[in-house]
């Protein structure tokens, strides 16, 4: 019977042990690192006797024990086995995203969920929880106006008018508009007693109300605000100066050299303070929740910006390390996840896509 190593297999060192982790459903196994060499002989369907010839420098008894053990652990699959067919399909479908994306996806799938009480019992007490808010006490700060800009636009109008804008006018965004947007999207709405200290809630849902996402604002063209990188202090409703000076070229470069970002009036970097989430939810799956939370904040940002008469944009493409450095994030405990932007939308945007016509639909598969 010929055997093959799954395509879905990641190896790493964890807590001093060499671990081989098959996915989608496999269990991570700690092995002697020599297992990697044996597994490498099974790149394609291979007869164990043939593999033994390739691995001639290893004792036959070692291979005689190791190969069945690897097979038993699901680290070698038999030809024709349904597991092998599924492995092949996953490799084909995830294509160039492998191994990073499918490994994270499947390794954090179907995890056991401890009951709610067990999570609460294990969670540190209020005194050991990380602070709710990120603040930069030593920074120069600009307290923001609290008089909100008008947000009373019919809900349907906001929903259907929201579009991603990449062409902006040079008209500065009034400080009051920016202040309203930051307060509505990132400010606390209320405070709740979690049983282990206070938590706050925002206008967007957030997994466990951990509020691990902070907003850093790159100001380019906002009235009464010097261009620069600021942190939005949500507790105080102020902008804390991280670094003076911010140019359209720099903004475009940070956003993976997308020129449109330089035309925005400001960027907002969503950065995760990971310990705020991890302190209560130690399972790696909860990193997904941080990403989902960023999406929720992004949508609320886009709708609120639209209601305020701004054109919102967002980008998943950005130079992570450069963005982190510009926001003075260590990219370890605090790391950027998403970049949002807004400005006054150009009335006749140059990049507006043309509507799809009959000809377009002729070239489009609408269903199988």
Ligand X SMILES: Cc1cc2nc3c(=O)[nH]c(=O)nc-3n(C[C@H](O)[C@H](O)[C@H](O)COP(=O)(O)O)c2cc1C
With respect to ligand X, which residue has the nearer C-beta, 164 or 226? 164
Distance CA 279, CA 124 (A): 7
With respect to ligand X, which residue has the nearer C-beta, 79 or 351? 351
For residue 198, count other CB atoms closer than 10 A to its CB.
Answer: 13
With respect to ligand X, which residue has the nearer C-beta, 6 or 345? 345
- Applying CB under 6 A, the residues found at the interface with ligand X are 163-164, 166, 258, 314-317
Contact yes or no for 301/186 (Cβ under 8 A) = no
Q: How far is the CB of 11 from ligand X (least distance, A)?
A: 31
Q: Beta strands of the chain (E only): which ranges?
A: 3-4, 9-14, 17-22, 29-31, 77-78, 141-143, 190-193, 198-201, 213-219, 228-233, 238-244, 266-273, 311-315, 334-343
With respect to ligand X, which residue has the nearer C-beta, 258 or 304? 258
* Paired tokens of 326: 């510009």
Closest CA to 215 of 321, 342, 73, 340: 340
Closest CA to 5 of 23, 17, 31: 23
Q: How far is the CB of 333 from ligand X (least distance, A)?
A: 24
With respect to ligand X, which residue has the nearer C-beta, 89 or 317? 317
Q: How far is the CB of 245 from ligand X (least distance, A)?
A: 24
Q: How far is the CB of 318 from ligand X (least distance, A)?
A: 8
Distance CA 310, CA 165 (A): 9
For Cα atoms 242, 264, 267, give the angle at the middle one, nearest 5 degrees.
35
* Paired tokens of 256: 């993976």
Q: How far is the CB of 315 from ligand X (least distance, A)?
A: 4
Q: How far is the CB of 212 from ligand X (least distance, A)?
A: 18
With respect to ligand X, which residue has the nearer C-beta, 42 or 318? 318
């Amino acid at each position: 019977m010929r055997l093959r190593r799954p395509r879905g297999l990641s190896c790493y060192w964890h807590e001093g042990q060499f671990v081989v982790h098959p996915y989608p459903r496999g269990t991570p196994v700690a092995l002697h690192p020599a297992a990697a060499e044996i597994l490498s002989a099974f790149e394609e369907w291979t007869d164990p006797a043939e593999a033994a010839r390739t691995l001639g420098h290893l004792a036959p008894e070692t291979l005689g024990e190791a190969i069945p053990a690897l097979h038993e652990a699901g680290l070698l699959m038999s030809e024709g086995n349904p597991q092998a067919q599924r492995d092949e399909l996953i490799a084909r479908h995830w294509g160039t995203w492998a191994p990073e994306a499918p490994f994270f996806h499947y390794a954090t799938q179907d995890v056991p969920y401890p009951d709610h009480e067990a999570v609460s019992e294990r969670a540190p007490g209020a005194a050991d929880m990380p602070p709710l808010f990120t603040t930069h006490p030593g920074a120069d700060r600009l307290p923001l106006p609290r008089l909100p800009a008008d947000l009373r636009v019919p809900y349907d109008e906001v929903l259907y008018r929201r579009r991603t804008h990449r062409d902006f006018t040079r008209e500065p965004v009034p400080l009051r508009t920016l202040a309203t947007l930051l307060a509505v999207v990132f400010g606390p709405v209320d405070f709740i007693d979690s049983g282990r200290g206070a938590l706050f809630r925002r206008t967007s849902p957030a997994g466990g109300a951990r509020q691990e996402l902070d907003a850093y604002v790159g100001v380019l063209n906002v009235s009464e605000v010097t261009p620069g990188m600021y942190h939005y202090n949500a507790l105080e409703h102020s902008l804390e100066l991280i670094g003076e000076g911010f140019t359209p070229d720099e903004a475009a470069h940070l956003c993976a050299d997308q020129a449109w970002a330089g035309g925005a009036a400001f960027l907002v970097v969503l950065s995760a303070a990971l310990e705020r989430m991890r302190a209560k939810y130690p399972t790696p799956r909860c990193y997904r929740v941080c990403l989902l939370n960023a999406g929720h904040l992004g949508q609320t940002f886009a709708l609120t910006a639209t209601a305020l008469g701004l054109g919102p944009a967002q980008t998943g493409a950005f130079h992570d390390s450069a963005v982190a450095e510009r926001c003075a994030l260590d990219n370890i405990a605090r790391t950027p996840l998403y970049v949002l932007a807004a400005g006054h939308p150009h009335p006749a945007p140059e990049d507006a896509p043309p509507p799809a016509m009959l000809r377009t639909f002729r070239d489009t598969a609408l269903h199988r």
